[in-house]
Amino acid sequence: MNTEGRSTTSGGRRLTRRDFLRATAVGGSAAVFLAACAPAGAPTGGAAPTTAAGEAPVAGAPKQGGTMVWLGHQEVAGLSPDDAGPDVQAVMINNIHNPLVYYNEFNELELVLADSYEIAEDGLTYTFKLKEGVKFHDGSDFTSADVKYTWDYYRNPDNGAVRAGLFTGVSEIETPDDLTVVVKMATINAASLANWASFPIVQSTYHAEVGESTYRTAPIGTGAYKLKEWRAAEFTELEAFEDHFRGRPNIDIIRLEVVPEPSVRTIALQTGDADATVWPLLVEDSLSFAQDPNYVVLKALGNSIKHFPLNNSLPQLSDKRVRQAMMYGLDRERIVADLWQGAASVAHSNIPPSSFYYDPNLKQYPYDVEQAKALLDEAGWVPGSDGVRAKDGVRLSFTMTTITGDQARRPIAEFAQQQLKEIGVEIQLAEAPVASILEGLRNGTLESSIFNWTYNNGAIEPDPFSTLHSTGGNNFNQFKNAEMDRLIEEGLQVVDPEERRKYYDQIQAIFVEEVPCLYLQYDEWLNVFSARVKGLPVDPKASTVWFYRAHEWWLD
């Protein structure tokens, strides 16, 4: 891994992983379990959970003013709510827009644009009362019409939204008055509050006038920050919205700069040119910052799998035995230990171990070269004179496209290239911007890549519709399995956690048997902040969403 710009402690001793984990161990597993046991769609009166317990004790009153610089590893390709898949885009989108509710960094459901909500006993009607006096960035009033328009637009299959699957089960949206939204469900969707109810709201009149393509470049939301300037591959700059309903944010400007190389992001933090990195640095650099009192490192268990998506529609990748063989042919323990400094755990499921729904008794793939070769032999793939296997004139070869400038994950791809060569699999490496990679995977024109993505909806919600259902908007693997589709659809209709878990046990079993992607690890998420950023949370349980609280922070 690249070590350029690596920092050390004042005494020259590098912080070890053991030191760091002892100092910043993530607690609260019981809290995560209890939160997971309260299903998103369970009938409730909708009282707003509090987050005060997780706020950092900070001396002095918040200050107003200043520019806070964040660093991201990829271009910000769009700023519509439908672009909120990649983390670097999501943090910008969710500072420009607000949802009615969302699960915050403590895995607690928090009311935002909703004042309250109520779910009917049969789980088929959701009634939201909206906050009064909320303004959009253009000065117009936020009303129920904006909610209806947003949800109707992005759930309409004719509009081709990537995130349309979030609205599974929604039948009709009514607006009896300006501050009331009633959602009628055709079927129960136990993930409703985590999925469609958390979808950010757009200014309806403006969006209808300019269309989605233009809106992605010039959004208008109710968020604490409004767009000032956007250059996709360079920077995105937001400015404080004076009339934000929660009060004017403390910091005047948030500027996210696109810096693909983690070593350069490290230098920017060391020199004070940046205040935080949205996308983590090289692990060893994050651990070094953790011992420096001039920095704060927020840590949480990640919910996204670091993985190699595979285009299952290709003849050389369509047989599950080939995909299983590659799992056996990868020494994932070594990847975690040598290439990720031990700050991760080997993945054995599409659901993270922190989730109530995680099944610890699934089939596993220990490193076993001979087992890998035997599976390929059984599938009829014969080694050629160059060592690369072939079958029916097709070589067992594919291209893995990594994100341009991704110094952290590129070495993993190179390691896999060498290891899988030993079992007769050829991997060609290429690079492309992340927007091109996502488009190619979604369209089935790209063969493979490597990045982090959730094959669930976090530790709280296990629904994998977007990534594992055959019609999912992020079905990167072009995976089609009728039984998986059925279980995903039926699992959404079960509210009781114990009963619901039976469906997700089966979903996980199919996932590990079919191996739609090569799943590697769950990372320990480490975000570095300058100590001049005040108001940060203490002991968060979920990563990235802490950036949605930027309106509460200030600069010392």
Q: What is the dihedral of CA 544, 546, 547, 553, to 10 degrees?
A: -160
Question: What's the pTM?
Answer: 0.81
Structural domain boundaries in the chain: 29-226+531-555, 302-524
Q: At the fourth CATH level, which superfamily is domain 302-524?
A: Dipeptide-binding Protein; Domain 3 (3.10.105.10)
DSSP for 328-367, please give it: HH--HHHIIIIISTT-EEE--SSS-TTSTT--TTS-----
CATH architecture of 29-226+531-555: Alpha-Beta Complex (3.90)
Q: Which strands sit side by side in the sheet containing 382-383, from one edge to the other?
A: 382-383, 389-391, 394-395
pLDDT surpassing 60 at residue 382: yes
pLDDT bin (cut points 50, 70, 90) of residue 50 is very low
First to last CA, the chain: 34
Write out the two tokens for 381: 């793939």
pLDDT bin (cut points 50, 70, 90) of residue 448 is very high
Quote the CA–CA distance of 492 and 189 in Å, as a whole number.
5
Model pLDDT for residues 110-131, shown as the tens digit of each residue? 999 999 999 999 999 999 999 9
Q: Give alpha helix (H) positions in 356-457.
A: 369-378, 410-421, 434-443
Model pLDDT for residues 478-499, shown as the tens digit of each residue? 999 999 999 999 999 999 999 9
Block residue for tokens 């009628």: 184
Provide, rounded to the nearest whole percent, the portion of the chain with pLDDT above 70: 89
What's the distance, CA 260 to chain centroid? 18
pLDDT surpassing 80 at residue 6: no
pLDDT (0 to 100) of residue 31: 30
pLDDT (0 to 100) of residue 405: 85
Average pLDDT over residues 501-505: 97
CA angle 113, 115, 119 (to 5 degrees): 105
Q: What is the mean pLDDT of the chain?
A: 89
- Residue 73: closest CA among 413, 405, 437, 295: 405
Average pLDDT over residues 148-158: 98
3-state class (DSSP) for residue 28: coil
- Residue 281: closest CA among 301, 298, 303, 305: 298
pLDDT (0 to 100) of residue 460: 84
Model pLDDT for residues 173-225, shown as the tens digit of each residue? 999 999 999 999 999 999 999 999 999 999 999 999 999 999 999 999 999 99
Per-residue b or e along 480-516, where b marks 16 or more CB atoms closer than 10 Å to that residue's CB:
ebeebbebbbebbbbbebeebbebbbbbbbbbbebbb
